[in-house]
Amino acid sequence: MSTSLNLAPEHPIASPTPTSIPVDGLPPDLQLSPRLHNRDLAPTRLAGRRWGGYSIFALWTNDVHNIANYSFAMGLFALGLGGWQILMSLAIGAALVYFFMNLSGYMGQKTGVPFPVISRIAFGIHGAQIPALIRAVIAIAWFGIQTYLASVVLRVLLTAVWPQVAAYDHNSVLGLSSLGWVCFVAIWVVQLVILAYGMEMVRRYEAFAGPVILLTVASLAFYMYFKADASIAWSVAEPLTGYEMWRNIFAGGALWLAIYGTLVLNFCDFARSSPCRKTIRVGNFWGLPVNILVFAVITVVLCGAQFKINGQIIDSPTQIVATIPHTAFLVLGCLAFLIVTVAVNIMANFVAPAFVLSNLAPRHLNFRRAGLISATLAVLILPWNLYNSPVVIVYFLSGLGALLGPLYGVIMSDYWLLRKGCINVPELYSENPACAYHYSRGVNLRAVAAFVPAAALSIVLALVPNFHSVAPFSWLIGAGIAAAIYLLIAPRHRVYQDVSGECIAVDHSSH
């Protein structure tokens, strides 16, 4: 039964037995369903939004300069791309990410709602569980894996400072040593504490971590540049030329977009707390294209300097940190990468499943409780075993990742091309069959029909070896085909209402 919810600040989540209480500004026949609404899923009130340009810039600084991204970019150097070719490849990727991230961010800023609620626009109030759950499964798995990788950095740090603790690193309990368990649980608890204070604490932590990692990698680049006598090798051998060069350049750019395939979907989780489009546009500009080009230059310097020094092709900046002869600098380097790994893990893999699980049972799960459940699931899957299994990483997680492009294509084509940005936000929380997003029993079958064939094709292109030459472009291909199918079968001549969610919005601090 759909009833109105009490929006008073003292109630953090919907009551299990809500009473019908009218909400000022809502039509009398429109009631908010406790199966679709709680304070964490509610729109963010425009006044008091705190994610300004710097907050967004810092968010992307952490994500751009994380260890996994450096490993990817250094892989381009190992493939034979020269310095300028790597810069061009990442510039193409930066432009794509900036464009698609703005589209997602503008949606979140206008509506003020998180990704599971955004998904209701195209997929329906109940069909939205499809994209939300796909995003959550990927995030929970990677949250566990990234927490494990951060614990490895902490383990290196502890053994460098106190060598005697290495004695506890030789046994195995469920695949992890005693020291490994201590480090893993410590990182897990730190992340949980940050999330327990809500999105405002996430914003503050990201704002702190951004400059730390930027200063660290810049210092590392200067250190390596002067260690290599102020010159670097621009490639490992003769740079690629002709078709193979251009294919790798564009493939690198497309893969860079695919790396951000998760965040282009749920960037609205953060953008919903931004005051205006300009804030998103400016924050994204400095945080993505500019930051990525800085990242590319640092990558070329680190790779080129190391290759000139001893002919070694590195695949992670942590390899350089590990060779620093001074323990104090080694500790500082490990701390910086530990801080950024936690920051990236929270933004990319913790926030999303917390909103998704809250969306599954809004009456019982608020953001914090849902975050605790997702973090617990990330431990129960024993992520170090997943990380050490190529089958799981390549086929399961990569297969799920291939679904993200088609999801993006359906959601964005529906919002921007079909509805032209006209959204009735209060009706996203109503189970009234007459409301815009009820569709067929809460599911938009046209969106599902567009998603399924595009997703199947995207998985085939991404995983079947015979299509390796086009595999890097599977995200773009899947998104384009899903959008085309959806626009072909969707009703084209409906009039869509544009109704703000301010009448049911809550303060930014409530999230």
**Residue 18's pLDDT band (boundaries 50, 70, 90)?**
very low
Q: Which of 500, 507, 341 is nearest to 426 (CA)?
A: 500
Buried-state track 75-91, b at ≥16 Cβ within 10 A, e below 16 = ebbeebbbbebbbbbbb
278-296 pLDDT, tens per residue? 999 999 999 999 999 999 9
Strand partners, 260: none
- pLDDT mean over 180-207: 94
Greatest distance between any 2 Cα atoms in the chain: 75
Phi, psi of 499, rounded to the nearest 5 degrees = -125, 125
What pLDDT was estimated at residue 13?
35
Work out the number of other CB atoms within 10 angstroms of the CB of residue 367.
25
Q: Using the predicted structure, report yes or no on whether residue 144 has a pLDDT greater than 60.
A: yes
Q: How far apart are CA 11 and CA 3, in angstroms?
A: 16
Cα–Cα distance list, 322 to 145, 325, 402 (Å): 21, 8, 34
Residue predicted with more confidence, 58 or 82:
58
Strand partners, 44: 506
Residue 189, class by beta-carbon neighbours within 10 Å (0-12 exposed, 13-18 middle, 19+ buried)? exposed
Q: Which of 128, 63, 116 is nearest to 94 (CA)?
A: 63
Q: Are 485 and 454 in contact (CB under 8 A)?
A: yes
Measured N-to-C along each axis, helices 277-285 and 83-111 cross at an angle, to the nearest 10 degrees, of 160
Q: How far apart are CA 63 and CA 61, in angstroms?
A: 5
Q: Which of 209, 206, 276, 269 is nearest to 49 (CA)?
A: 276
What pLDDT was estimated at residue 29?
67
Q: Which of 232, 231, 230, 250 is nearest to 240 (CA)?
A: 250
CA atoms within 13 A on the CB side of 456: 5
Strand segments (E) across 333-461: none
Instruction: List, in order of start, the domains of the chain with CATH numbers.
Output: 53-385 (1.10.4160.10)
Q: How far apart are CA 293 and CA 304, in angstroms?
A: 16
What pLDDT was estimated at residue 509?
61
What pLDDT was estimated at residue 7?
33
Q: Are 295 and 73 in contact (CB under 8 A)?
A: yes
Q: Which of 29, 37, 35 is nearest to 7 (CA)?
A: 37
The model's pTM: 0.90
The segment with the largest mean pLDDT, out of 30-34, 81-85, 205-209, 329-333, is 205-209
Q: Using the predicted structure, report yes or no on whether residue 21 has a pLDDT greater than 60.
A: no
CA dihedral 261, 116, 426, 11 (to 10 degrees): -130
Q: Using the predicted structure, report yes or no on whether residue 413 has a pLDDT greater than 70.
A: yes
Cα–Cα distance list, 227 to 143, 320, 328, 332 (Å): 36, 12, 18, 19
- pLDDT mean over 406-427: 97
- pLDDT mean over 296-322: 89
Please, where are the H alpha helices in 197-316? 199-227, 242-259, 263-266, 268-271, 277-285, 291-310
337-395 pLDDT, tens per residue? 999 999 999 999 999 999 999 999 999 999 999 999 999 999 999 999 888 876 776 67
What percent of the chain clears pLDDT 90, i.e. is strictly above it?
73
**Residue 28's pLDDT band (boundaries 50, 70, 90)?**
low
**What is the CA 104 to chain-centroid distance, rounded?**
12
Q: How far apart are CA 303 and CA 224, in angstroms?
A: 9
Q: Which of 104, 465, 451 is nearest to 281 (CA)?
A: 104
What percent of the chain clears pLDDT 70, i.e. is strictly above it?
93
Could you give the 3-state DSSP secondary structure of residue 366?
Answer: coil
Among the listed ranges 14-28, 241-255, 474-488, which one has the minimum average pLDDT value? 14-28
Residue predicted with more confidence, 161 or 487:
487
What pLDDT was estimated at residue 426?
96
Could you give the 3-state DSSP secondary structure of residue 424?
Answer: strand
Q: Using the predicted structure, report yes or no on whether residue 82 has a pLDDT greater than 90.
A: no
Q: Using the predicted structure, report yes or no on whether residue 113 has a pLDDT greater than 60.
A: yes
Q: Are 377 and 140 in contact (CB under 8 A)?
A: yes
Q: How far apart are CA 99 and CA 198, in angstroms?
A: 28
Mean pLDDT value across the chain: 90
Q: Using the predicted structure, report yes or no on whether residue 20 has a pLDDT greater than 50.
A: no
450 Cβ contact partners less than 8 Å away, ≥ 6 residues apart: 406, 409, 410, 482, 483, 485, 486, 489
How is 107-131 classified by DSSP, letter by letter?
HHHHH---HHHHHHHHH-TTTTHHH
What pLDDT was estimated at residue 180?
94
- pLDDT mean over 138-151: 91
Q: Using the predicted structure, report yes or no on whether residue 11 has a pLDDT greater than 80.
A: no
Q: Which of 190, 117, 131 is nearest to 350 (CA)?
A: 190
